[in-house]
Amino acid sequence: MRFGSTEGSPAKSRAAGVSAIRRGSRALLALMVAGGLVGCSGDDGATGPGPQPPADEASEGELLFLRQSGTAPPLLTRDTTFVATRGEDLKVELFYEPEAGSDDDTGERFLEFELDKESLLRYPTGHPMAGQTFADGDTITIRIQVDEAEIVATLEPSGLEFDTDRPAELELRYGNSDDDYDEDGDSDPELEDDIDLWRQEQVGDPWSRVGEIKDADEDKIRAFLTSFSRYALAI
Ligand SMILES: [Ca+2]
Ligand SMILES: [Ca+2]
């Protein structure tokens, strides 16, 4: 059984690149580790984010951060830790709880994080191997925490570097977000085009636009990461 098959999304070719699956969730229903790397672009009908406004960097106060809708199910997992191994592909997915009465183990997917077997490049500051490059078989513990209220994902350890030719990939979905983005009491479907994925190095820093692939039909945005930090959906 694949947890990924229960999310009810259209059977697009998104999963076609997943060649093998191994299970490594330590008692976490929502966590799936799989072999294979989904292709970067053009394999799932996704389109680019379109013409961008000039501001690719913004202060926290300049952004409208998406919030989960009041009717959104809770996430099955908001804080998960796993081991990544150089030389092995990795996929981690976080899901919402299934709808009441559903036989599914999970609801819709919220977050997807993927590493290619060559993605791990250099150890972070503070690690005993700080500054050294990963060799095949080397491992590192990665943690993903999600702030449900504002749809912010924090990935650690900060300072961990990924190969720019084989970056890590992060995808967040906004299908369960409150579409009154500006919080003035009415829904704002016209603002969906402006939703993007933003990255903040450290709390208090400005945010940078990092979304690379946006699929407005499936309400998801993917970014390619060369290092960790905080990632949020915002306008
Ligand atoms: Ca509004
Ligand atoms: Ca949409």
- Return d(Cα 113, Cα 162) in angstroms, integer: 13
Span from the CA of 162 to the centroid of ligand 2 (angstroms): 30
User: What are the pLDDT digits (tens) for 125-158?
Assistant: 999 999 999 999 999 999 999 997 888 999 999 9
What predicted TM-score, i.e. pTM, was given to this entire model? 0.76
User: Percentage of residues in the chain with pLDDT exceeding 70?
Assistant: 77
Q: How many Cα atoms sit within 13 Å of 42 on the Cβ side? A: 0
**In sequence order, what are the residues at sequence separation of 6 or more whose Cβ sits closer than 8 angstroms to the Cβ of residue 230?**
152, 153, 154, 155, 199, 200, 201, 203
* pLDDT for the residue 50: 52
The Cα–Cα gap between 54 and 68 comes to: 27
CA distance 148 to 68: 7
3-state helix, strand, coil in the chain (%, to 5): 10, 35, 60
Average pLDDT rounded to a whole number, residues 107-122: 97
Q: How far is the CA of 135 from the centre of ligand 2 (A)?
A: 41
Alpha helix ranges (H) inside 70-189 = none
Residue identified by tokens 């229960």 is 6
Rg (the chain; Cα; Å): 17
% of the chain beyond a pLDDT of 90: 70
E-assigned strand segments in the chain: 20-21, 34-35, 57-58, 79-85, 90-95, 109-115, 120-122, 139-147, 152-156, 161-162, 168-173, 196-200, 207-209, 213-215, 220-225, 230-234
Q: Which of 2-6, 53-57, 156-160 has the highest average model confidence (pLDDT)?
A: 156-160
Ligand 1 mean position, distance from CA 190 (Å): 10
Give the pLDDT score at 40: 37
Q: What is the pLDDT of residue 196?
A: 96
**Distance (Å, whole) CA 222 – CA 216:** 11
Within 8 A by CB and 6+ apart from 57, the residues are: 206, 207, 208, 209
- Cis ω for the linkage preceding 124 (within 30 of 0): no
Q: How confident is the model at residue 100 (pLDDT cuts 50, 70, 90)?
A: confident
pLDDT of residue 12: 36
Closest C-alpha to 222, from 82, 91, 64, 84: 91
CA distances to 57, 65, 92, 196 from 54, in Å: 9, 18, 33, 13
Give, as residue ranges, everything with CB less than 5 Å from ion ligand 2: 216, 219
Ligand 2 center to residue 65 CA distance, Å? 17
Q: Render pLDDT for 16-33 as a digit per residue (tens, 0 to 9).
A: 322 222 222 322 323 333
Closest ligand to the CA of 64 = 1
- Report pLDDT for 149: 82
If you measure from the C-alpha of residue 208 to the centroid of ligand 2, how many angstroms do you get, rounded to a whole number? 22
The environment of the single-atom ion ligand 1, i.e. residues with CB closer than 5 A, is 180, 182, 184, 186, 188
In the predicted model, what is the mean pLDDT of residues 79-89? 98
Q: Ligand 2 center to residue 165 CA distance, Å?
A: 30
